[in-house]
Amino acid sequence: MNWVLVILGGMIGAPLRYLTDRAVRSRHDTDFPWGTFAVNAGGSFVLGTLTGAVTAGAADSHLQLLLGTGLCGALTTYSTFSYETLRLAQGGARFLAAANAVASVTAGLGAVYVGLAVARALWS
51 is in an annotated binding site: no
Q: Where are the domains of the chain?
A: 2-123
pTM: 0.95
Vertex 95 angle, CA 94 and 100, to 5°:
95
76 is in an annotated binding site: yes
Distance of CA 25 to the CA centre of its chain: 16
Q: Are 97 and 82 contacting, i.e. CB atoms less than 8 angstroms apart?
A: no
Mean pLDDT across 95-120? 98
pLDDT digits (tens, 9 = 90+) for 37-95: 999 999 999 999 999 999 999 999 999 999 999 999 999 999 999 999 999 999 999 99
